Structure 1
Amino acid sequence: MRPTTGTEGLLRLHAPQVLGALVRRYGHFGAAEDAVQEALLAAARQWPDQGVPENPRGWLIKVASRRLMDQLRADDARRRRREEDAARLTPRDAFTAPPPGESRAPADDDTLTLLFLCCRPELTAAAQVALTLRAVGGLTTAEIARAHLVPEATMAQRISRAKAKIKGAPFRQPGPADRDARLAVVLQVLYLIFNEGYTATSGDALHRADLAREAIRLTRSVRRLLPREGPVTGLLALMLLTEARSAARTGSHGELIPLDEQDRALWDRRAIAEGTALVEEALGQGPPGAYQLQAAIAALHDEAADADATDWPQILALYDVLVRLAPEPMAELGRAVAYAMVHGPRAGLQELESFEDALRGHYRLEAVRAHLLERAGDAEGARAAYRSAARGTLSRPEAHYLQTRAARLAP
């Protein structure tokens, strides 16, 4: 049975917290993840019919703990000794999650500890990102593979090897020096989780609000630990300024509404105010990095009264700095759009040619090409590019939007 939307959101919210609780108490990262998945499956089957328990996280922890203990009992004597040690060291009330509404201190947040555990230095950067997206972000292996443009089998092997490497690692927050060394990967992972929530790479829904909210929550937790780190502040600002537009991004039937056509009265002005203040703070916390610059670009979009009032020259100037500082294809793609808005669509199309090999076959490249060709008056070329982009995305709302744009240009 497929869970309802409400149940699905609860499960995604609590999954990393439950996994963190089990790993902290028992270790056995791989076995704990399997037990959590079984508990989530049991909840998905039972909750829609029987109702959500008063304490969902406590229910999941109890069920997952039982599954894990069953696995350990079925193992060899060495694992049985570990089970006995775990049982002896576990407090009597360990299977009881905090009551609803009770907050936990950031240092006691198992999800945050799990986040840093997945970013241990003995793992490669690629393995750190993949493991964290799987364990903390709740993304499927297929979703992670698509985000990294690699085959699913390759990503599955990467995650499996990462689990094996951290087996037996202590479940605790790193010290200051070690924490700083892992910070860049932690922020990259949070950014990827947020992006998957803001624009899902597959499925019927464009926006996965639970993922976006969890990424924001975790980023706030990291900022409480490191309040004067510009990249942390910048990333939180970027998330808030981007998520502030979410209510206006889809129509009544879930269809995608592009930025220049959105009803800006639906934007979350409180989130925009907080994000804008954080941008100013982040830019004062040392030399600007990629997150600070992207947040500044988002602030310029959010501060414009309408699409025509957007300060595209300033946005282009920020993109120029961004691609020099952190050259990567998606930043180049954003810069090409800004360049076209300042210098015209034909100039933007020429910019695409300079880096299109790095994104060849990616639907976002074709979508931007289609948009610029349409603005340039090449209806036939735009229609073909829109169709190509629609074939390349697994997101139904994006595919529908792109197909609709193509249909509007039919002779």
Structure 2
Amino acid sequence: MQAVYMAIPQVENMRRSMNTASGMRKALKEGRFMGKAPLGYRNSRDVNNRPVIEVVPEKASLVREAFELFATGMYDKEELRRKLKPKGLTLTKTCFAQMLRQPAYCGKIVVKAKDNEPELTVTAIHEPIIDETLYNKVQEQLKRRVKRKAKPKKLVAELPLRGNLICPDCGGNLTGSASKGSGGVYQYYHCQSPCRVRFRADVAHLHFEQWLRSLNIPSEIVALYLAILEDEFNALEKDRFKEIQVLKLQRDEKDKLLTEAALKLLKGEISYEILSRVDTSLRQEINALSMRIHDLEVQESGFKHYMRYGMTLLSDLSGYYTSAELDVKQKLVSSIFGGKLVYQNGNYRTNGQSEVMSLIANSKALLGGKKRGSSSEKAEEVGKVALPGIEPGSKV
């Protein structure tokens, strides 16, 4: 009997544990997020006192920004985490990585496999912060970055174009190496295939800087583009302000409806069940409106700073390139030109086309015509000029 009495509490604890696990699994299958709410949400209770999570607009906008930026492929996890930290997204490396893999943000709940039941993915009852398409893009980027863990090549200061040059004969990537001669050590770019293309790096660099100088955008074209873009930006700012005002009016209307519903309940005109359904629906709409308002209000308007910097850079490409650090030089070359560079007989050309090169081509074609009419007329011409090839017209 003593053994039985000692065993009863243990059996009771096991029964409670099994019931709790079963209840949590049932809740997960219903689409309820169990446990501590992820960043961007807070734990709450519905009208039936059952656990739910609700969106926190100010944090949700940061989560959405993190997903959108990472989906572009321009940032790794640590770089993006540090970029968003000053804005309020304070997470450790591990937590940030877990956030990017959390399916709850796109309105999905994963129910893990147990016993004979397979793993399930169900639609959550809470409001998603991002859509499923964006979530899938982020997962693809995470998979790609796992595959990219190969050791990067060591950068050589004397070979800044390595990685951006291809062979003019076979189209393969050119590498670089040093060769010792009678006058000292010289750096060469060369092909690794049997075509044996090889040329002095210092000569190629001299021609490259001369080519960059020939691509500079004239100051009058820079001023024209800035004026056009500034007008467009100011128009967008007005539209943004109007949209915020409209959204705030809509939110106020929803708040008013909530108050009216509560008064009708007090007067006995509606039942508590009807109020609960109305309350849940209206609060979801209010949260969505608040999130959109917050996103519009916190949008940075650094247009003038970035555009003037970018246009200044394009008006003195060779100067920026010459004074830049090695890693910046390589990023500058890869971002400006639409593909790899081909160097042959003292000339450079690209095997692709980029928006920057199109801008330069349009600018030079526009400047080559007659200078007449207003700036708005010239603006129309910018879009009408036929794009010439990216190869330079004359030998450098």
- TM-score normalised by the chain length of structure 1: 0.23
Structure with greater proportional strand content? 2
Structure with greater proportional helix content? 1
